[in-house]
Amino acid sequence: MADTTATSAGANCVEKLKSYVRTQKGFILSTEIFISLIILICYAASVYGGYTAVAIIEMIFAMIFFGIFMMEMDKQIQVVNWVWSDLFRAGIGAGLYIITSLICVIRGAGDGALIAGGVFGLIAGLLFAYDTYTIFLQIKSTRQHTATSTDDRI
């Protein structure tokens, strides 16, 4: 008879997924993945499909960082500074989304899917900028600001 009290690896992964999505960082990353998918669909439905690369790349990077942080591999793989890598990912994503979305909104006369992708891209740019800000606050709070005096007279 099979032991029903033992948890399987798949159930453990699902539990980690559920608990990580409830955290602030997990919610932000899952929202970034979802909005990048929506932007990808809008750009793919557009006459000008050349802007899909930004959505694909940012969605893939958000998925990679989501998986790394969800499985807590950032604590196991110490070679990479994951917080700074995530800061650069989010900052570059914010800049790319804002630039390409402004181009799409300005250029998209008569192409509703391109304009919709541009509007969602502006929202994604703000989301990525917020993610950058929260990561910056995390880096700032973990730094030790110990100002020691080297002057013996004080």
Q: Where are the domains of the chain?
A: 23-139
Task: Check residue 146 and give its pLDDT.
Answer: 44
Task: Check residue 107 and give its pLDDT.
Answer: 85
Report yes or no on whether pTM surpasses 0.85.
no
Q: Among all chains, which residue has been given the structure tokens 């304009």?
A: 115
Distance CA 32, CA 56 (A): 12
Which residue blocks in the chain are alpha helix, DSSP H?
A: 9-21, 24-45, 52-70, 82-107, 112-142
- Give mean pLDDT, residues 85-99: 95
Q: Is the pLDDT of residue 84 over 60?
A: yes
Distance CA 130, CA 154 (A): 42
Distance CA 45, CA 55 (A): 13
Question: Per residue in 108-141, pLDDT tens?
Answer: 788 889 999 999 999 999 999 999 999 999 899 8
Task: Check residue 151 and give its pLDDT.
Answer: 59
Question: Per residue in 2-51, pLDDT tens?
Answer: 555 555 666 688 888 888 889 999 999 999 999 999 999 999 998 877 78
- Give mean pLDDT, residues 70-94: 91
Q: How far is CA 20 from CA 16, 28, 71, in A?
A: 6, 11, 9
